[in-house]
Structure 1
């Protein structure tokens, strides 16, 4: 099966569940939001991580990505203090300063590789906020390795002949080198820090990992596992943010009236606006979100970075009218769910104002850019704030235009991203 979305939409039309093949392996493709929610929430204990697409599991199989639910919950609780809304508020000044410094380095009329720049900026933000205890010199070098690693991860094919070819190409070699360099430097720092003094678990997420111990008082994770967990957390935060921001800036360059409304809203907002995904609706006294948040919500609807997900049944399961034996691969695509015409009229049209009356619902999975259920993204609050800050930093300083003679196409790799996005900045 090749993931050409128009072909998949035609193949799945009228089917809630349909058998497909991924690299010769049969799988059940679910295209019903209620059934997807059943997989992720109600019957979540019956489904484990699928292995048709490796994604981040090439980086780590411990901590948050552990197959065991008890371990996953443990490391989720460990990360939560540094990602909860109150902590995100504390992170905001650092995020804003890093974003301003990044865009200040751009030059009028000189093409900017937006995705590479967003990788570099998001890497610096992730390291500064989640691994803030690192010395500046270490953090700076790690940031460069992380930016390279993240950009290579974004472009990594997930399946098929393209994935096989990538293993032989320099892209894969650059990814492997960036990963090795990052882990080597971080492991060296951990070894030195351990000899000097014990880490304070309240400092940052890395210190919490280093301080985490099992019942017998010994560290739960080895240095190698901690490095893997650190790479996974930082890379996940970077690749998704970079992909979404690239699409956001592309959309603004293509829709001048939308750009004008975003600029006006950013000039008026206090930065406390609640995204639709976290609001509770008019019945609880909340008005509709501001235009910037509606804009970002629509970007995430049309261009969800985690565009496809694979699960595998851990026991015999029932899904609608289908009986799934143990070991059945189950797929679903947030890209397709987000373009369901029954939920979203004129689903391919970019319309932030659809979120004036529409709300993401907990009753199904028709809007899941951050997943849902027990394994939904632990960094959702962090992501919303970072996107808002990055959008403001770029658009209030620069007006961007697509480099003449280029056409922007979507690439469905590890994330859904523009295949190539060169933009020309001009001062506001």
Structure 2
């Protein structure tokens, strides 16, 4: 993509047989997502995601989308996320305590287990422990299949053939069936249990009529919980890979994490500590949502290019984050580049969670979760590479390592 689009702010392309305009200018991307967002609707990538849900936040109805964002906000705001930290830590410890010194660990699969267990334990509290564990495991299998689902090209065409996605369908059905049992039991559960699921089920109009059926509640939950887990699992996998490859970065990170645990972060309130700079740099180089698409709802002019209504407009956070005009030596991993004023304030040069009204509703949850996982894993284990295996980048549903096998050694 970099060579194809080098020197082009806007370039017409054909993607999977669909005519589109690729945008590489961060100012123009911000105009699409913020300044003139009313002129752009959901594009082809959105339609590819709708196999998960057709209601709630994935609805094509903008009013419905905003409504269900507001409904999720109380469970994802910063103060609420702080309450989840003890549960998050317990989940991570439970998973990594099963690792054995010298054994090969499929890190990406393990990150799926961790993020899925965290999602279930925090967003659906009050379930019996056995149900929580089983729901987390089933969600983990679904997330693992979703991560590896191709979006574009010949691989996507092969995956779309009848019967080709059998494992994904089975994983989705297994998770959804158990989730449906949990939703059906919510009206009889004690007050204060059920969390976000209870809020979805109780959502009603002014006459007291439910807005979502139990089936639609399940659809919304499958969408949101899958989206939340596949992205975080991919980012965390890259973070652990970077630490293995760059010992000096690992040394500085461990010192910062130890200082944070002791309550002495070593930096002024409001400053960005090394742990956050490290994660920001991981997200810069390996944004999980690596490509996005919008469609013009009316005739517009983008830059100096007139676009008729119905034009697909594509942009890539991967390319925006590696623009040498915004990031000197863009392919180098350097957390200290974030000591300077942050890019992305007036443009879209840094958008790992999107930007504007359709930015990721779970951003605060994700930042906290990433820090907790990083802290607990690195406190317990040092992960080395499985010798003889190179790690390749896989641009599929998320931007993830093709296969990441690592060997844990105790700290």
TM-score of the superposed pair, with normalisation by structure 2: 0.95
Pairing of 1:161-240 with structure 2 (within 5 A): 161-168=154-161, 172-194=165-187, 196=188, 200=191, 204-240=195-231
Q: Deviations over 1:30-68 (max 9, x none)?
A: 000000000001111111111256453210121111222
Shift of 1:369: 0.2
Give the distance between the partners of 1:272 and 1:238, measured in 2 at CA. Answer: 29
Give the distance between the partners of 1:323 and 1:127, measured in 2 at CA. Answer: 46
The 8 Å contact of residues 288 and 357 in structure 1, kept in 2 or not, is answered as no
Q: Deviations over 1:363-388 (max 9, x none)?
A: 10000000000010011111001000
Decide which of 140, 147, 154 is 1:154's aligned counterpart.
147
Query: What is residue 31 of structure 2 aligned with on the other side?
Result: 38
Q: Which runs of 5+ in 2 are unaligned?
A: none
The 8 Å contact of residues 326 and 343 in structure 2, kept in 1 or not, is answered as no
Query: What is residue 360 of structure 2 aligned with on the other side?
Result: 377
Query: What is residue 240 of structure 2 aligned with on the other side?
Result: 249
Give the distance between the partners of 2:150 and 2:235, measured in 1 at CA. Answer: 18
Give the distance between the partners of 2:41 and 2:62, measured in 1 at CA. Answer: 9
Total equivalences in the alignment:
410
Please state whether the residue corresponding to 1:292 is helix, strand or coil: helix
Q: Deviations over 1:301-339 (max 9, x none)?
A: 000000000111111112111111111000000000000
Structure 1 residue 319 corresponds to structure 2 residue 319: no
Decide which of 103, 108, 115 is 1:122's aligned counterpart.
115
Query: What is residue 134 of structure 1 aligned with on the other side?
Result: 127
Please state whether the residue corresponding to 1:366 is helix, strand or coil: coil
Please state whether the residue corresponding to 2:231 is helix, strand or coil: helix
Q: Which runs of 5+ in 1 are unaligned?
A: 1-7, 275-281
Q: Deviations over 1:83-113 (max 9, x none)?
A: 0000011001100111111111100000000
**Residues 86, 177 of structure 1: alpha-carbon distance in 2 compared, 3 angstrom cutoff:** same
Query: What is residue 101 of structure 1 aligned with on the other side?
Result: 94
**Residues 53, 233 of structure 1: alpha-carbon distance in 2 compared, 3 angstrom cutoff:** closer
Please state whether the residue corresponding to 1:396 is helix, strand or coil: helix
Give the distance between the partners of 1:273 and 1:10, measured in 2 at CA. Answer: 45
Give the distance between the partners of 2:379 and 2:277, measured in 1 at CA. Answer: 18
The 8 Å contact of residues 308 and 332 in structure 1, kept in 2 or not, is answered as yes
Give the distance between the partners of 1:316 and 1:236, measured in 2 at CA. Answer: 32
Aligned CA RMSD, in angstroms, stands at 2.0
Query: What is residue 63 of structure 1 aligned with on the other side?
Result: 56
**Residues 83, 304 of structure 1: alpha-carbon distance in 2 compared, 3 angstrom cutoff:** same
Give the distance between the partners of 2:45 and 2:285, measured in 1 at CA. Answer: 24
**Residues 130, 100 of structure 1: alpha-carbon distance in 2 compared, 3 angstrom cutoff:** same
Name which of structure 1's ranges 214-223 and 315-324 shifts more when overlaid on structure 2. 214-223
Q: Deviations over 1:212-242 (max 9, x none)?
A: 0123321111222111110111111110110
